[in-house]
Every structure is written in structure tokens, then in C-alpha cells.
RNA sequence: GGCGGCGUAGCUCAGUUGGUUAGAGCGGAGGUCUCAUAAUCCUCAGGUCGUAGGUUCGAUUCCUACCGCCGCCA
């Protein structure tokens, strides 16, 4: 049976348009998805992303916009769909928590948990912050019962609510968190374990409709809707082609969640508890990324440094933002984002290394051989040929293993080492010099065959990171999808014709405003 | 306040299960080639590896304290 994998981004709880921070998560995850599709076959990979549309904040944002909640979330969802398209996010299931299929699964799981006796009712009196949608204890608040996050006065509320038992699942949750590689990178595992070293308060999973009616109704008490978090987690699974419990039992052990570090606790503690409560297995990996800063400062609306990520695609061309974020940011750590750095990366890596290498190789092929490949790659006996061919031959597997380990930046580094080797090889073999001697043309042919075949392998390996660029280079090489995937030396054969060079990444002279 | 992480060349970061001259990329300086997008290629950074102690034959790498930044929790 073929190995399969299920991959998700966090679903977005957003009352505004997507920004670069969202884009980072989408682009990282999508590159991982694209890699897995190539490795396992597209039919063995499912990819879910979407929007989290219930809850008080969404309802309030809708009210502020003068819209009904559903109309408002339709608009937000459309914005995100548009952003996915603009960012070239590959095929995915776009979940909305207001979709009937999703709501049905949430209700099924609530009912099952209730039937198992893991949800109970109790009266609760406490201080509630509307913005946070949660209760606070007095010592958590600032003097005067002010919410530390929103700087507003919390409300004193007394109401009955439903709770999910958590302590019952503690041992099982801890066992999971301890599991090697469950949380990646490892730094976040320690944080999660620390969270688990303290008593777990049972999770309140309901909101009375009297206070908030924008949510999924509890199947066992129509006076309540479920809390947004309980609702949202199931979005990872609800719109899969088959969301039966049997199917979910198969999917969860191969499920990879990609999230930001801010929602570590909910995913490391609550979500596993929810799954265990309904007798489902815990998912396989929690992949946690850091935040993007802007010139050293946090992205924030007030500082006005929020950028529309799609505008970068338009300004710099496809794949550039994606390349930059994956190459420059170490997965799991915070990264710094600035246009100055993008331009630096663009010029040095994309224009000078990748783009220029493609140009010079194709130009020589055109000039000396009318773009025909006339030798078999990998068969040269010059001492310079061996190392180059070995470098190209090893690139794909090395780069791939690093993607499996979420080391996207190092994976790209490996690919660029191959480009580097190619540029050095050209200088060392100097085909442009020996081409002046007709007697040495066959050697020139050999050199170019090696380079063209190497370029093919690099372009193919680059596909998850730079899908558009990869396709462009493969097109210049006149290679179809099947030929593109061949191992080094098995691809382009003598007699093959490539196309004339066109600049892939024209240099940018000045940073754009 | 508790716990954890980080602090390495101008910038972004690797790295060291303790051991000869601490690495890469970018930026900057000089040089080279001419196939190429004034690109490539070669050479050049003398950085107290946050500070102060300790362990050790020997610490950037282990321990302690402290300083700074950050995260989580309270």
C-alpha cells in the first residue's frame, strides 16, 4: 500500500485580509506539500487550509462592517482564496467552519464525547474578556480587572457551561509530546512539556446562545453553541472526502499540522485531548514555525508595516517571496523580513546564480551547436567531469531529506551548492575558449551536455520551492514532465534540442519602494 | 517571580559529544575571464565565539553568577 500523508495549515481566524505572516505559513506548507506530492504521488497527499469563521470576534467584526456574520465571513474567505491563488498555493481543500459538512462532523464528535461522559455541565462564575473570549482569574488581570491583552475591563459573568475533561487524558498527552519528533523543532517540545507540568483546567467547550449565537449548536443542548476552538480543530479533517471515524483513524497517524508558535498549547494539549476523548489516534507531527518580523519590529496594524503578500508576487515576480522566506528563515525560528533583503537575495541568488547560469549555458548551446545536445551527459572522462556529475546526481536526494526534516533553508543551500559547482565548472573547463578550436568541439559538447542535464536536475529539484521558475527552466530545456523527473544522466539524450536563453530574473538595480 | 531559549566576522546565521590556524553566504576591497543578466571565477574579514569566575593538561564548546534580548507560564 502506498504511503499517504495529510497536511494542514492552521485555519485562519481573521477579521482582516491576509498579510505576510499568513503567507509565510502557506508558502512553507505548500512547498512541503509539493515535495510530498512528488515523492508519494499526488493522489496520496491531502492538503487542507481554510478559515475559522465562528466566534465572537468574527461576529463583532461583521457587525462593525455592517454585515451579517455569514456575509462577512464569505468576504474574508474570498480574500484568502484569492491570496492562495496569488501566492500559487497548490491544490487544496479549502475548509470553512461554517460549511454544513464541517458543522455536522463537529456535532457528531461533540455527541460522541458527551455520550462517553467526558463532557459535563457545571455552573461557572468568573471574569470574562470579550476580546479574548475566555475567562480570567483575578491574578491574571491588571489592577481594576483590566484584561492584559486588550486593556479593557473584563465582565463579571455567571453562567452554566459544558466542559471537556482534560486530566483524564494527561498521561496519554504527555506520552505523545515526549514522542521523538512529535513536535518539531524540538525546542517547542520543551515548552509543551512545561505546559503539561501544571494542572490542566478542564476546557470550557460551550457558549450560551444568549451571549453568543454565532457557532455550532451543541447536539445535546440547543441553548448552547460550541466554543470556537473546539469547532476549529475538526476543520483539519471535516472536509476530507471521507470523514467517517474509520477513515479518520487512518488519516490521523499520517497527519502533519503546520502552525505558528502562538498556538502551540492548543495543538499540543487540547487537540490531542479532543481526539482521545472520541477514541481517535493523535496526529503524527506538529510542525511549529516562528514569527516574521519587519525590519526587527513585529508586524502590526498600528505600525502600518502590514503588507499585502500578493503585491510582492506582482512586484518581483512569481516564486521570489517564496524563495526568500524559505531560504532566509530557519524553520521554527523568527525571521526578519525586509524588501532590502529580498532584493539582495534576488540579485545574488536568483539573478546572478540561477538565472545567469541558465543564460550562459543555453547561449553557448545555441552558439556552438544550434541548441542541439550532441553528447551524452555523465560520460566525459575529464577529471573535472566526475565531481560535477556526482554533485548533480546527489542533489535531489540530499535536498529532499532536508525537506523531510523541515530544514527548508538548508535544502535550498544544497541546491545552490550545485549551481555553484556548475559555475566553477564552466570557468575551469572554459568551453568558450576551447570552442575556438574546431578539434575540441566534441569536448565542448560534452561539457554542455553535462551542464544542461545538471540544469534539468536542479530545475526539477527546485519545483517544490519555485514551481513557476522550475517549469520555466524545464520549458527552456524543452523537457516534458516525465523527462524532468529522470535521474541525472537518464534524462536528456543526444539529439535533444533546447530553446534560446531568456533572462529569468533581470537584475534589480534599486530597492523598490 | 518561575521555567526555557538566544547572545559567534559590518549583516544573516552554521558549528564545536572540550583539543592543532573558529566556518558559510551576503555586503565591502583588489584581481581575472569573456559564454552569460557589468554576471562568473580567484584572493582579502585578523572576530576577546555576551561579561566575570570555576572545572580541566586544554573551553567558544561543560559548570556557576551576572548583563542584554526573546518566548512560555504565573
Backbone angles phi, psi at A286, to 5 degrees: -115, 115
Q: Which of residues 135-194 of A touch strand B (CB under 7 A)?
A: 139-140, 187, 190-191, 194
Q: Is the CB of A432 under 7 A from strand B?
A: yes
Q: Is the CB of A352 under 7 A from strand B?
A: yes
Q: Are A46 and A93 in contact (CB under 8 A)?
A: yes
Q: Is the CB of A367 under 7 A from strand B?
A: yes
Q: Which of residues 276-315 of A touch strand B (CB under 7 A)?
A: none
Q: Is the CB of A415 under 7 A from strand B?
A: no
Q: Is the CB of A502 under 7 A from strand B?
A: no
Q: What is the DSSP string of A181-237?
A: TSEESTHHHHHHHHHTTSPPPPEE-EEETTT---SPEETTEEEEEE-HHHHHHTHHH
Residue ranges with strand state E in A61-103:
93-96
Closest to A417 in 3D by CA, of A443, A388, A438: A388
pLDDT, mean of each 10-residue run, chain A (513 residues): 87 82 91 96 97 88 92 94 95 96 97 95 81 68 68 80 91 87 83 81 88 92 92 96 96 94 89 94 91 65 63 90 89 82 91 96 97 94 91 91 88 92 95 95 96 96 96 97 95 96 88 38
Residue corresponding to grid cell 481566524? A13
Kindly state the helix (H) or strand (E) to which residue A119 belongs, with its residue range. Answer: strand A119-129
Q: Is the CB of A335 under 7 A from strand B?
A: yes
What pLDDT does A513 receive? 34
Q: Is the CB of A355 under 7 A from strand B?
A: yes
- Which residue approaches B70 most closely, CA to C1'? A334
Q: Give the nearest nucleotide to A364, CA to C1'.
A: B35
Query: What cell numbers appear for A399 in the block?
Result: 535536498
Q: Is the CB of A358 under 7 A from strand B?
A: yes
Burial of A193 (C-beta count, 10 Å sphere; 0-12/13-18/19+): middle
Cα A465 to Cα A327: distance, rounded to the nearest angstrom: 9
Helix, strand, coil shares, percent, chain A, to 5:
50, 15, 35
Nucleotides of B under 7 A from a protein CB: 2-5, 12-14, 25-27, 33-42, 70-74
Q: Give the nearest nucleotide to A344, CA to C1'.
A: B26
Distance A502 CA to B42 C1' (A): 28
Residue corresponding to grid cell 532536508? A402
Question: Which domains can be identified in chain A, with CATH numbers?
Answer: 5-316 (3.40.50.620), 343-484 (1.10.730.10)
Predicted TM-score (pTM) above 0.90? yes
Task: Tell me the ipTM for this assembly.
Answer: 0.88
Cα A418 to Cα A509: distance, rounded to the nearest angstrom: 26
Amino acid at each position: 500500500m502506498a504511503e499517504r500523508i495529510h497536511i494542514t495549515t492552521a485555519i485562519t481566524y481573521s477579521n482582516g485580509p491576509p498579510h505576510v505572516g499568513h503567507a509565510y505559513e502557506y508558502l512553507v506548507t505548500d512547498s512541503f506539500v509539493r515535495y510530498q506530492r512528488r515523492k508519494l504521488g499526488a493522489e496520496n497527499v491531502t492538503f487542507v487550509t481554510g478559515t475559522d469563521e465562528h466566534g465572537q470576534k468574527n461576529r463583532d467584526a461583521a457587525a462593525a462592517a455592517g454585515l451579517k456574520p455569514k456575509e462577512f465571513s464569505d468576504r474574508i474567505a474570498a480574500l484568502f482564496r484569492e491570496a492562495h491563488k496569488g501566492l500559487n498555493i497548490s491544490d487544496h481543500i479549502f475548509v470553512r467552519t461554517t460549511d454544513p459538512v464541517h458543522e455536522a462532523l463537529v456535532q457528531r464528535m461533540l455527541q460522541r464525547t458527551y455520550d462517553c461522559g467526558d463532557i459535563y455541565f457545571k455552573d461557572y462564575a468568573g471574569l470574562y474578556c470579550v476580546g479574548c473570549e475566555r475567562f480570567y482569574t483575578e491574578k491574571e488581570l491588571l489592577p481594576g480587572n483590566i484584561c492584559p491583552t486588550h486593556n479593557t475591563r473584563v465582565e463579571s459573568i455567571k453562567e452554566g457551561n459544558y466542559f471537556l475533561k482534560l486530566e483524564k487524558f494527561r498521561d496519554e498527552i504527555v506520552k505523545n509530546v515526549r514522542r521523538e519528533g512529535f513536535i518539531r523543532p524540538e525546542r517547542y517540545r520543551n515548552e509543551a512539556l512545561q505546559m503539561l507540568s501544571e494542572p490542566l483546567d478542564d476546557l470550557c467547550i460551550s457558549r450560551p446562545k444568549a451571549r453568543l449565537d454565532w457557532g455550532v449548536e451543541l447536539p445535546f443542548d440547543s441553548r448552547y453553541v460550541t466554543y470556537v476552538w473546539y469547532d476549529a480543530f475538526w476543520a483539519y479533517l471535516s472536509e476530507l472526502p471521507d470523514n467517517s471515524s474509520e477513515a479518520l483513524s487512518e488519516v490521523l497517524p499520517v497527519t502533519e499540522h503546520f502552525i505558528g508558535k502562538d498556538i502551540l498549547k492548543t495543538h499540543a494539549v487540547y487537540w490531542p485531548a479532543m481526539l482521545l476523548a472520541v477514541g481517535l489516534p493523535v496526529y503524527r507531527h506538529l510542525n511549529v514555525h516562528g514569527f516574521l518580523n519587519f525590519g526587527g519590529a513585529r508586524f502590526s496594524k498600528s505600525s502600518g508595516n502590514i503588507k499585502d503578500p500578493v503585491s510582492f508576487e506582482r512586484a518581483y515576480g512569481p516564486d521570489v517571496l517564496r524563495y526568500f522566506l524559505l531560504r532566509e528563515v530557519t524553520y521554527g525560528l523568527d525571521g526578519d523580513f525586509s524588501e532590502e533583503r529580498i532584493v539582495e537575495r534576488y540579485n545574488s541568488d536568483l539573478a546572478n546564480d540561477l538565472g545567469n547560469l541558465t543564460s550562459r549555458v543555453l547561449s553557448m548551446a545555441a552558439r556552438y551547436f544550434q541548441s542541439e545536445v550532441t553528447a551524452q551527459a555523465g560520460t566525459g572522462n575529464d577529471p573535472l567531469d566526475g565531481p560535477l556529475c556526482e554533485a548533480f546526481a546527489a542533489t535531489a536526494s540530499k535536498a529532499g531529506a532536508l525537506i523531510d526534516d523541515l530544514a527548508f533553508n538548508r535544502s535550498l543551500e544544497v541546491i545552490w551548492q550545485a549551481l555553484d559547482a556548475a559555475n566553477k565548472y564552466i570557468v575551469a573547463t572554459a568551453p568558450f575558449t576551447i570552442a575556438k578550436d574546431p578539434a575540441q568541439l566534441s569536448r565542448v559538447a560534452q561539457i554542455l551536455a553535462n551542464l544542461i542535464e545538471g540544469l534539468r536536475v536542479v530545475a526539477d529539484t527546485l519545483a517544490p520551492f519555485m514551481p513557476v521558475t522550475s517549469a520555466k527552466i524545464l520549458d527552456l530545456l524543452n523537457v516534458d514532465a516525465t523527462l524532468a523527473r529522470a535521474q541525472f544522466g537518464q534524462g536528456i539524450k543526444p539529439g535533444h534540442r533546447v530553446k534560446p536563453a531568456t533572462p529569468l530574473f533581470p537584475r534589480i538595480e534599486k530597492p523598490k519602494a
